[in-house]
Every structure is written in C-alpha cells, then in structure tokens.
A and B are shown apart, each in its own frame.
Chain A
Amino acid sequence: MADRVFTIRIITPERVFYEGEASMAEFNTSEGEMGVYAGHIPMTVILKPGVLTLTQAEGRKEAALHTGFAEILPESITVLAEAAEWPGEIDIARAQAARERAEKRLREHSPSTDIARAETALQRAIARIETLR
C-alpha cells in the first residue's frame, strides 16, 4: 500500500501552499486525528488546527494547518485551509505568547469571553508549537 501515491493540494486564501504527491497524509479533524492512504473512499472532513504530516518517498514533511476542510477522493486530496505554515515560518515566541493568552482567557472565564474563539486560538497556538517539536 505504501508505494501507492495520491496527489495532495493544500490551498489557503493567500497562496497555493503545497501541491505534490504523498503516500500518506495525517491531519487533525473535528472527529479526531486521521491518516489517509491512496484509495480512500470519498469523504469530506472538517479540519481542526493541528499538525499535518505528509509521508513521501523522499521523507516526511510537517506543517501547521489551521481551520478549513478537506475533500478526500480516491486519487486526490484537496485541503482548503484558512492558514497553513511550514515550520520555518512559525514564530515560536508569538505562538507561546498566544497560547498563554488563550489559556488565561479560558481560566478567567468571564461572561464576556468568547469560549469558542479562545479555544480555537489555543488550538492554533498548540498546533504551531507541536509542528516545531
């Protein structure tokens, strides 16, 4: 199975982030982490902020992937994400600061806090930090 490849396209509003072939893709969805090989049944999943891992003949690639969705077809995957970053593009200090800020917001839990937004911000920061690890 591992030698069968599919095309993967990762597109964000700013640019075509990545376009190429991979034998496996792993990402975080609303239902949990999932890994996809070629020949998957057609499926649409909602993405949560997390680490995207591509397994390719020449090695593994990692990137931080934020909210969006993916359309999985047997021969191809199209990922439409609101933002995506390679490890080299991540500012670790900023991610750490964002994480602390979001955690603080969630802890204090004042009525004015938008819980869903704070959680997304937290997940995003964690995804960035995880990608660098």
Chain B
Amino acid sequence: MASMRDIKRRRSSIQSTGQITRAMKLVSTVKLQKARGKAECTKAYSDYMYKTMRSILAHSEGIRHPYLQGGESGKKAVIVISSNRGLAGGYNSNVVKLITQGELAEAELELYTVGRKGRDGLARAGYTVRLDSSDISEEPTYADAAALARAALTSFTKGEVGEIWIAYTRFKNTVVHEPRLVKLLPLPKPEAEDGQDLPMNFEAEEESVLEALIPNYLTSLIYGGLLESCASENGARMQAMDSATSNAEDMIEDLTLLYNRARQNSITQELTEIIAGAQAIE
C-alpha cells in the first residue's frame, strides 16, 4: 500500500486540478451564454439569406453565371472553423475528422482555416493551408467574415478553385453539437416550389444583382458558421470541464478513503509496536 504521504500529495494535486477545471467550466458557461445569444440573433439572418437565395434562384430561369455553374478547376476551397484552445472534448478533432475522413480527396483541397487547433491538426496530416486567420476565432465580427469571404471568392473568380465549402460545428443545443460540411458555391439550383411560379424580376441586370448578392450570401453564411462554432466550442468545453470536475471529485473520494485506511493502519501498527515493546520490558 502507498504511503500516507504519497496519497496525500496525490490528493492535493487532484484537488487543485479540480479547482482549475471547475473555474474553466464557469468561464465557458458565461462565454457560452454570450456566444449563444449572438449565434441565435444571427441565425435568423443566415437562414433567411439561404432561403431567399434559394427562392430567388428558383424563380429565375436561365441565369448563367459562374457562381451557379462552378469553376473549371477541380480544386475545392474549404473553410475550416475550429478553436484556438484545446480542452474542449472532441470539438476540434471532430472538425478535423470531417475533413480527413470525409468524401473529399486530400489532393484537391485548399484550406482556409480559422482556429489554431484545426490548422495544426490538418497541416500535420499533410493538407495545404492556403490562408490562416486564427486570430478571429475568439470573437468573430461581420467584417472578419467578409474578409474571409472575399479571399475565398477571389480565388474562385480567378479560377483557382471550383467550389467553396465550409466545415463548422452546428450548435443544436447546449449538449448537442454537430460537425457539418456544407457546400456554399456553386449554389445548387433548387426545384421551383409550387404555388409560387411567378418569375422573379430584377431591377438591375440579373448578372449584376447576383454579383452583388453572392458575396453577401457567402459572408453571412460564414459569419453564421463562425458564431455557431464559437457557441459549440464553449458548449463542448463546458461539458468536458464538467465531467473532468466530477471525475476529480470521484478520485478525491477514493483517495480520501485510501488515505484514511492508511492512517488507521499506521496507528494500529504503532500501537502494536508500543504494546509489544512494553511487554518486552516487563
């Protein structure tokens, strides 16, 4: 059996780890609430953006535009959103897995990463990281998303990539986060919904309207993805830290039991020794 001192040392080390994880949990709970509020406000915008784009496309016939057809290049740009910090359970590795185990082939990908953990994981696996903007992952703003969208769109219009995808973590609720890989461009043309077969009109030239809409669309979806990932990250960290704290508590309980047993043992032994000593003198 381990000595009393060893057990005591071990217990106090676990105790302080538990304190850290408990504090981290509290911090991420607060952050989660903030991020979640923001994500929910933006959700309406990106949902409507997606819906409206689809309905515009469904109502307009015969628009030919590279944004709808896809580029010639076989390369695909993927915007990968992860976090800068670890200790968030499976959050980062799930996003990385989405890329490494997905249906997209490694050679044809060009990554635009947000978040150091995802970037490092994918770079180690041999992927090409075209652009890294990890510094925006903590508190993403609309302008950050716009810059990212511009970068991706520029290489799309130059013909360097033929498709744009996004890998992010959807925030379903506090405990359920779902990593997702979504194609942003070219837009799949939806079937016209029934009941609304009036053709869509455009005030300006159709092409120029699309030209103005697409960057908006891309930005808002990226922004939505960033915020949802941010909420998911904090949610995942909160969960991870919660289970770490309760594990620490369990271990402390076990160690306390062990410690008490060791203490009793040593008292009993001391007593036995004293009595034996006294008997020998008599």
Binding site for B on A (CB under 8 A): 9, 11-16, 29-31, 34, 41-46, 68-69, 71, 73-74, 78, 80, 82
Residues of B contacting A15 with CB < 8 Å?
A: 41, 44
* Residues A13 and B42 in contact in the complex (CB < 8 Å), given A69-B213, A78-B52, A80-B216: yes
Asked if A30 contacts B203 (CB within 8 A), the reply is yes
Is B59 close to A, CB under 8 A?
yes
Chain B residue at minimum C-beta to C-beta distance from A32: B203
* Residues A82 and B52 in contact in the complex (CB < 8 Å), given A11-B44, A43-B201, A45-B203: no
Is B4 close to A, CB under 8 A?
no
Asked if B203 contacts A80 (CB within 8 A), the reply is no
Asked if A9 contacts B48 (CB within 8 A), the reply is yes
Question: Distance in Å from the Cβ of B2 to the closest Cβ of chain A?
Answer: 57
Q: Which residues B32-89 have CB closer than 8 A to chain A?
A: 41-42, 44-45, 48-49, 52, 55-56, 59
Asked if A11 contacts B201 (CB within 8 A), the reply is no
Q: What 3 pairs between A and B have smallest CB-CB spacing?
A: A43-B201, A45-B203, A31-B203
A-B interface contact total, Cβ < 8 Å? 72
Is B188 close to A, CB under 8 A?
no
Chain B interface residue count, CB cutoff 8 Å, equals 25
Residues of B contacting A29 with CB < 8 Å?
A: 203
Chain A residue at minimum C-beta to C-beta distance from B211: A46
Is B198 close to A, CB under 8 A?
yes
Residues of B contacting A42 with CB < 8 Å?
A: 59, 196, 198-201
Interface SS majority for chain B: helix
Is B113 close to A, CB under 8 A?
no
Asked if A43 contacts B216 (CB within 8 A), the reply is no
Residues of B contacting A82 with CB < 8 Å?
A: 142, 216
Residues of A contacting B213 with CB < 8 Å?
A: 44, 46, 69
Docked pose: A69 CA to B6 CA in angstroms: 68
Contact pattern, B 80-103, Cβ under 8 Å of A = 1, otherwise 0? 000000000000000000000000
Asked if B200 contacts A80 (CB within 8 A), the reply is no
* Residues A13 and B198 in contact in the complex (CB < 8 Å), given A29-B203, A42-B59, A69-B216: no
Is B245 close to A, CB under 8 A?
no
**CB within 8 A of A46: which of B42, B49, B201, B204?**
B204
Residues of A contacting B234 with CB < 8 Å?
A: none
Asked if A44 contacts B198 (CB within 8 A), the reply is no
Docked pose: A11 CA to B50 CA in angstroms: 13
* Residues A43 and B200 in contact in the complex (CB < 8 Å), given A69-B213, A80-B216: yes
Chain A residue at minimum C-beta to C-beta distance from B146: A82
10 more contacts with CB within 8 A, not counting A41-B201, A42-B198, A44-B56, are A11-B48, A13-B41, A13-B220, A15-B41, A16-B41, A29-B203, A44-B200, A44-B201, A71-B52, A74-B198
Residues of B contacting A69 with CB < 8 Å?
A: 209, 212-213, 216
